[in-house]
Structure 1
């Protein structure tokens, strides 16, 4: 993969970080909202449980309290009641008309607010009830140590006694606050972990997408570079032909050369486009049963060069006719180019058993190219670093075959394209 920092690559890398940041922000926002909702629901549930508890204590004791015939409160039932012996604080207050509130019974006084606040709560309970028996009042306040508590007040009235009694019950403002704190810690740690995991996943996934985008960018640049390099020479030659002002007797030859150059450029563009489309997954190679010997003969005939000699035996393969024609044509052009040192020497094409071999009688394999003759950019004695042989190797790989170049006995080179033979017994083309 190309690692240079071109503007396009820099934009892709910024897009990766922006995508990661966006996923992180969205995940963090969602986690915060869900955590807030979960914590609020839990807090509300625990508060409701506290309200139910203090209302049960205050209301139960209010129904149990009595007074005797001498208009004296009977606190025995309150003191002995299990509701007045639990975890909730209890205060019984009584007030005669025109007098102040008096505390007649106190249990767990430390959970209750100050005396002034207790008096205020008793008055609010009486006022809010508006004379209704057992009408509860719920308030949140602080006890004498400053801790939040939930207080329920329930009034008691009698038709045969003018005094008013208020039962106050109080407990911590939240039921089992330790468990609520544990929930908050779990939400904080779990949410943080989830955000980190989402960030890491977004970074990795965007990196994977970035690699694919960089690969496509490299392939795009490779296509442009190959096209520019390969078309430069024939275009220059074509320009020289059109500017040479040939003589009348040379016009036909010049037009023939122009047509040959145009055909060569068309083949190059076709090959480059085919490879680019298939490498990016836009197109798939055709899978057709075909006669490789007939295809090679047709390509040799199109080349229209007297030096080409074809020796072909029936050979059936599965492949893409256009790609195979391109590969064979490139092999022929390579043989004709490197065999040009001897204009009388033939370029021999042999086809048999899924194999196409092209032999020239040129100077042989350049030692510089011998290690990687099919690599794009490999340059031989001519100094050319075209992509013809690289396309041959790619076509072979696409068809699950292989390609090779080796020295020929007696001089020259042999370029070979091998394809797996077709499975004629199966009745359908073999899958590649």
Structure 2
């Protein structure tokens, strides 16, 4: 994955953070809305449950209250009723015409409003009933401890007695408020964890989705860098050739050098494009049965250098002729370049059993580069290593083989390209030398 801060990579990283932020905001909004709706529904349900409970107690006790023949209020049925023994507070207000309200019975008085408020609620209940028996009313109030409560009140009238009784039942405005608070905390903590999980997932998934794009950016920039590095020298040389004014007897030599440089640039571009296309998955190496010995002979012949000698034994491999030709040609150029210290020394090519070995008689393997001679950009005594040997290693790996560079006995270097042999083997004619 890319480690530098090119503009394209920076844009991808910004897009990753923006995607993460967008998913986080959307998730947080959804969690907030759903949490608010859930808490609201739960609160409404608990308020309704409390209201129903208060009305049930007030209405039930109002129907239980009686008076005897002596016009005396009988509260025993109220006191003994199960409705008056639960968690709901009860106050029985009694008033004769022209008198003030008096509390005939109370239960859990501290959970009801003060006396003045109780009397006011009883009066409101009497007025709203308008003479209708058991016409319940509901009121929001505060008990003497400051807690919000719901008070339900039910009036009781008698046709044979002018005394008015109002049963008031009070309960918390919300049933089981502790459970509601617990639900709110659970929604808050769970929603927060869900938002964090969504943000982390979005960050990880967006990174995974961009991994391929970052890899392609790396390959694209590597391709451009390799092309610029490899083509700079032949282009400069070609420019000097075209700007020079050769003598008539030097024209053919100049044209031949220009063609050689053009061919070299074409091979470099072909190799770079092939590697880029295959690394990106656009293309796959061709798998063709071919004679590696004949391919090496053909490449050596095209090189047209009298120093090249070829010893080839029949060897059949399964591979891409174009890529293998490119790899062998790069190995030859490397041998010719490093063997140039002795213009009379040969560059020996040996082919057998899926191996192409090229020996030069140059200064040998640079100790600085011996650990990684195929790495692009490795520096040695002759400067920085180009893409040629790196392409050789890549071609070998693409075919399931490998490549190596070793010092040769007596001086020089042996570069070897090894490929798995095909199942079909050719007959073994006598080795040929060129």
Residues 1:121 and 1:324: Cα distance change in structure 2 (over 3 Å): farther
Deviation at 1:56, TM superposition (A): 1.9
CA 1:57–1:221: 2 relative to 1, 3 Å: same
Match of 1:55 in 2: 55
Name the CA distance, whole Å, in 2 between partners of 1:220 and 1:346: 39
The aligned residue for residue 361 of structure 2 is 361
- TM-score (normalizing by structure 2): 0.85
Alignment of 1:89-108 (within 5 A): 89-96=89-96, 100-108=100-108
SS in 2 for 1:330: helix
Distance 1:256 1:138, change over 3 A: farther
Instruction: Provide the C-alpha distance between the structure 1 equivalents of 2:411 and 2:162, rounded to a whole number of angstroms.
Output: 132
**Bigger shift: 347-356 or 190-199?**
190-199
Shift of 1:17: 4.2
Structure 1 residue 201 displacement after superposition: 4.2
SS at match of 2:118: helix
Q: In structure 1, what is the equivalent of residue 41 of structure 2? A: 41
How far apart are the structure 1 equivalents of 2:337 and 2:79? Answer: 116
What is the Cα deviation at residue 11 of structure 1? Answer: 4.7
Query: CA distance change for structure 1 residues 42 and 313 in 2, over 3 Å: closer, same or farther?
Result: farther
How far did 1:145 drift? 0.7
Gaps of 5+ in 2: 426-434
Q: CA deviation at 1:187?
A: 2.8
- CA distances 1:67-95 after superposition (whole Å, capped 9, x unpaired): 33444433221111110111100122344
1:194 and 2:200 equivalent? no
| Counterpart residue number, 1:32 | 32
Distance 1:324 1:160, change over 3 A: farther
Alpha-carbon spacing, 1:347–1:94, altered in 2? closer, same or farther (3 Å)? same
Give secondary structure in 2 for the equivalent of 1:351: strand
8 Å CA contact retained: 2:2, 2:9: no
Aligned to 2:267: 267
Q: CA deviation at 1:316?
A: 3.3
**Residue of structure 2 equivalent to 1:338:** 338
SS at match of 1:309: strand
Residues of 2 paired with 1:163 and 1:362: CA distance?
A: 129
SS of the residue corresponding to residue 339 of structure 1 reads helix
Decide which moves more: 385-394 or 66-75: 66-75
Q: Which residue of 1 aligns with 2:183?
A: 183
Matched with 1:390 is 390
> For residues 311-357 of structure 1, what are the alpha-carbon distances to aligned partners after superposition, in whole Å with 9 as ceiling and x for unaligned?
33333333333332322221122122222334444333222222222
Say whether 1:312 aligns with 2:296: no
Q: Secondary structure at the match of 2:165?
A: strand
Residues 1:420 and 1:73: Cα distance change in structure 2 (over 3 Å):
farther
Alignment of 1:200-219 (within 5 A): 200-205=200-205, 215-219=215-219
Deviation at 1:63, TM superposition (A): 2.2
Query: C-alpha deviations, 1:10-43, integer Å up to 9, x for none?
Result: 5555444444444443333333333323322332
Distance in 2 (CA, whole Å) between partners of 1:403 and 1:375 is 12
User: 1:113 — aligned with what?
Assistant: 113
Give me the TM-score of the superposition, normalised by structure 1.
0.85
- The aligned residue for residue 279 of structure 2 is 279
Count of paired positions: 425
